[in-house]
Amino acid sequence: MITTMRFVATCSAVAPALLALLWLSAVRASASAAAASAPNIVFILADDLGWGDVSWHNDQVVSPNMQQLVDTGVQLEQSYVQPLCTPSRSAFLTGLYPYRLGRQGPPLADLTPTGLSLDHTLLPERLSQLGYATHMIGKWHLGFCNWAYTPIARGFDTQYGYLLGSESHFNHTVGNGYDFRDQMEPEFTANGTYGTHLFADRAVRIIEEHQGSDQPFFLYLALQNVHLPLEVPDEYLVHYPEDLDENRRVLLGMVTALDEAVGRVVQALKDTGLYDNSVIVFSSDNGGVGKESNLPLRGAKGSVWEGGTRAAGFVHSPLLQGTPRVHSGLMHITDWYNTFLALAGESVLPDNDGFNQWDSLVNPSVASPRTSFFYNLDYEGEEGMLGALRLQDHKLVITKRRDLVPGKETEPWLFNLIEDPNETINLVEVEPGLAMAMQVLMLEELQNVVPKDQPEADPAGDPSNWGGVWTPGWCDVP
């Protein structure tokens, strides 16, 4: 067969359009061949799940399906996310620290007329180019004021779930509007059914539809549990004693419901014969809301303390070696971008804030390529520089004065997280040279901080203007 290069060399008179078509066909054929052997990727992101809300950190929690995956997989003990949900989701889908995107601030509010920057290629777009089918289920929370910000426009073949940051688990309303869609259309039949059940049903359906296909798939399953409001069917409460604090009892019931959904996804992969060539990753998007959810770690959701940023997570796959084991190498949510691209067969990985972690995950003898990361970074007027930096075993924290413990307003805070994982001993005066060097690294990085993308709320997006449904179409894009 004459190669494309020889064909071009010997047929210089062929119209450029025909040559372009031949080149495109060759690229597509190459991508299809590579995709045929690439693994399916299932990324499960729990919402507001704390360090102490999982059975492998707290034996009070009933999560047998996830526990079995941990017991036969790789438990992630140094895997970090952002302090809040929108920033974490932004980092995951771009491979960039949120402060490079203007997303280092609070989560996107319901009427905020903006979304995740359109200047960057999201992970599902890259995977589509490599021959993957791409599916998004659950919570989006990356902007919806214009259709250009929504999942179908950002590289997903299918989308099923809600666009805002939180809603009722049963009736799928946020304030005065309904928020649940199948593709781009409102899905009113979801009303009255528990969200996690719906998401698991759709995940199983997608997996079943891929049975027998040579095309690999990427499934982003962004589950709603255990985000407020605290709601769960009564059947999940029987696992927990009635004398337990009621809010804590419901939250743990929500964990068990989440665990059931994870179990159904894994069983569907096995039933369809897709399990042996699949990689399953589980992570929380940030720490739990209450400090009890994150014990013994310090802090909670919204903070750069370990309780707000150190995620309960694991990787499970028959492709892993030497399991079960605990992986203590440093990881950050930005790493999944390049890791998944490498799994998909991409030979030239993008230059972003992430690392390809696959070799260190699949092989216990390979160390993590990451030695540092920024928890968050910003500059706020009189407060000055805010954020935190991890450098090998040490962590430097510069936080708002009002966030410090009264009577102990020492800035910055320096911890050795290997010796002091719960951040109790400030080493600034013990290791002032290291503290200063890390602070200089943070100051140097400030040049990459993009101002927060946080415009004023726009009442044009109120559901009363859109038939009682939260609907895109009320803002322009840059």
Catalytic residues: 85, 141
CA distances from 433 to 171, 408, 416 (A): 55, 21, 14
CA–CA separation, 242 and 249 (whole Å)? 8
CA distances from 441 to 7, 260, 352, 373 (A): 53, 44, 18, 11
CA angle 154, 155, 160 (to 5 degrees): 85
CA–CA separation, 34 and 26 (whole Å)? 12
In 10 A of CB 155, how many CB atoms?
Answer: 20
CA–CA separation, 190 and 470 (whole Å)? 15
Q: CA 466 from chain center: how many Å?
A: 30
146-150 CB contacts, 8 Å cutoff, 24+ apart? 146/115, 146/472, 146/473, 146/474, 146/475, 146/476, 146/477, 147/184, 147/472, 147/473, 148/115, 148/118, 148/477, 149/114, 149/115, 149/116, 149/118, 149/472, 149/477, 150/184, 150/472
Which tokens belong to 37? 């052997």
Q: Please, which residues have CB within 8 angstroms of residue 291's CB and are 6 or more apart in sequence? A: 299, 300, 307
Residue from 185, 205, 188 nearest 197 by CA: 205
Q: What amino acid is encoded at 257 in this protein?
A: A
Q: Residues 184, 162: contact at Cβ < 8 Å?
A: no
Beta-bridge mates of residue 263: none
3-state secondary structure of 188: helix
Q: Residues 327, 77: contact at Cβ < 8 Å?
A: yes
Q: Please, which residues have CB within 8 angstroms of residue 94's CB and are 6 or more apart in sequence? A: 101, 116, 117, 120, 122, 123, 334, 337, 352
3-state secondary structure of 42: strand
Phi then psi for residue 136, to 5 deg, are -120, 125
Q: Please, which residues have CB within 8 angstroms of residue 416's CB and are 6 or more apart in sequence? A: 393, 394, 425, 427
Residue from 453, 449, 458 nearest 478 by CA: 453
CA distances from 414 to 302, 374, 436 (A): 19, 14, 10
